[in-house]
Amino acid sequence: MAGLIVPDVNLFPLTNYSFGIKDPQYERDPSVPTRMQRLKDEFEQYGSRRTVEAVLLVHEHNHPHLLLLQLGTTFFKLPGGELDIGEDEITGCQRWLTKTLAVEGTSIPWNVCEIVCNWYRPSYDQNQYPYIPGHVTRPKEHRRVFVVELPPNAALAVPKNYKLVAAPLFELHDNPQTYGPVIAQLPAMLSRINFVYN
């Protein structure tokens, strides 16, 4: 159909990347209640929290794999974090990726290229939705997820308290029990993208 644009995203083999380790990086809040209390305190002062996360894709045998940070045996997350007050989303996403995955003292040309989805936290609890509920005028957090195209080759460094795993999209699909609702819905959301296997 004329006028429709399908975005292209380049995927390179997992073997193009090397993975070292670096000093551990700990969560800012030691528990969920502490995180929710900080969210409440900051909301009263600054308004909605803005969070960015990155979808980093590689391929094995021409099937997309998502790079995930694994903490312990059961917790998986996308790299990213909270934006500073007034910080641009793309700049913030690149900052978080460098902080989390770049070798100390080096930079990687992170190409933030597509918005995959938006999630909203309407209240001070764990529940998030891919829409703003009708009764909510000011969500407590706005979480935006981007596809970030990796360079053809790179040396990455993973904080030693995490593992970096390459999970195939077929394993993530409709699997919220293992990966949580956001990650489990990514294969469907990514299906609109044309993957170019290099």
pLDDT digits (tens, 9 = 90+) for 28-80: 888 889 999 999 999 999 999 999 999 999 999 999 999 999 998 889 999 99
Residue 18 CB contacts under 8 Å (≥ 6 apart), including other chains: 154, 155, 156
Residue 69 falls within a domain, yes or no? Answer: yes
Position 6 scores a pLDDT of 78
* Domain enclosing residue 17, as ranges: 12-166
- Is 197 within a domain? no
User: CB–CB of 124/34 below 8 Å?
Assistant: no
Tokens of 43: 């909301």
pLDDT > 70 in the chain, percent: 98
> Residue 176 pLDDT > 90, yes or no?
yes
Is 41 contained in some domain?
yes
Q: Which of 1-15, 104-118, 122-136, 139-153 comes out lowest in average pLDDT?
A: 1-15
C-alpha distance from residue 43 to each of 88, 128, 142 (Å): 19, 16, 12
**52 pairs with which residues across the strands?**
81, 144
Cα–Cα distance for residue pair 119/190, rounded to 1 Å = 15
pLDDT of residue 108: 94
| Residues 156 and 103: beta-carbon distance below 8 Å | yes
Q: Fill in the amino acid letter for 163.
A: K
Quick one: average pLDDT of 172-177?
A: 95
Q: How far is CA 58 from the centre of its chain?
A: 14
The answer to whether residue 1 scores a pLDDT higher than 60 is no
In a domain, 171, yes or no: no
- pLDDT score for 2: 60
Averaged confidence pLDDT in the chain: 94
CATH number, domain at 59? 3.90.79.10
Residue 41 CA to residue 125 CA, distance in Å, equals 14
Q: Give CA separation, 143 vs 78, 107, 116, 168, in Å.
A: 12, 25, 11, 23
**Would residue 77 count as lying in a domain?**
yes
27 lies in some domain: yes
Number of domains in the chain: 1
Helix segments in the chain, DSSP class H: 32-46, 89-101, 169-172, 176-190
